[in-house]
Amino acid sequence: MTVPKVLIDGDVGLNIIFADTLKKIDLDFTSLLTPTDVPFYEIVPDKAAMPLEQITLPVTFDNPNNFQTEFMKFEVAYFESSYHAIFGRPALAKFMDVPHYLYLLLKMSGPNGVLSFRGDLKRSYDCDTGAVQIVARAQQAYEA
């Protein structure tokens, strides 16, 4: 299953996948979950948010004749997001990625040469706009 809306953020110290994403890919994930105590910060103003579980999933970056697959640990987030997942420093280190944020470009080595993935500027803009709207709704609910 392709997960097209992934935020690559080298400033984040964990990988996050959203429970809605797991449901959308029709994965019976409840038996794969393990408890966790790693908090999220900066989600709710002045508070830490606690995910309930972690999950380890195979992640593949591929082109038709060149691919790389690694098993990655994700914190499962049970809140709304405009993204399907967030890849932080652990993902970048595991795949030895080189992100070029300005160009929306991600490069990594593969068994048959360099793998290059380009982001979509319109999709990025739409996700960012959606994220701002979600935060605004959450802030209003928090202040009410």
Domain extent, residue 71, equals: 6-143
Q: Which sign, positive or negative, has the C-alpha torsion 33, 36, 42, 48? A: positive
pTM as predicted: 0.81
24-82 pLDDT tens trace: 887 777 778 888 877 776 655 566 666 678 999 999 988 778 888 999 999 888 888 88
Is pLDDT of 3 > 90?
no
Contact 127, 5 (CB under 8 A): yes
Task: With beta carbons less than 8 A apart as the criterion, state whether 107 and 31 touch.
Answer: no
pLDDT of 91-142, one tens digit each? 999 999 889 988 889 999 888 999 888 888 898 899 889 988 988 887 788 7
Helix (H, G, I), strand (E, B) or coil at 36: coil
Length of the chain: 144
Give domain status of residue 54, yes or no: yes
Residue 17 lies in a domain: yes
| Residue 1, domain member (yes or no) | no
Domain membership flag for residue 127: yes
- 3-state SS class at 46: coil
51 vs 10 pLDDT, higher one: 10
Instruction: Report the CATH number at residue 117.
Output: 2.40.70
86 is a domain residue: yes
Element (H, E) at 24: helix 19-24
**Residue 79 domain flag:** yes
Residue 85 lies in a domain: yes
Number of domains in the chain: 1
- Furthest-apart CA atoms within the chain: distance in Å: 55
Which two structure tokens, joined as six digits, stand for 76? Answer: 């499962």
Task: Point out which residues pair with 18 in neighbouring strands.
Answer: 77
Residues 125, 82 contacting (CB under 8 angstroms): no
Tell whether 51 is covered by a domain: yes
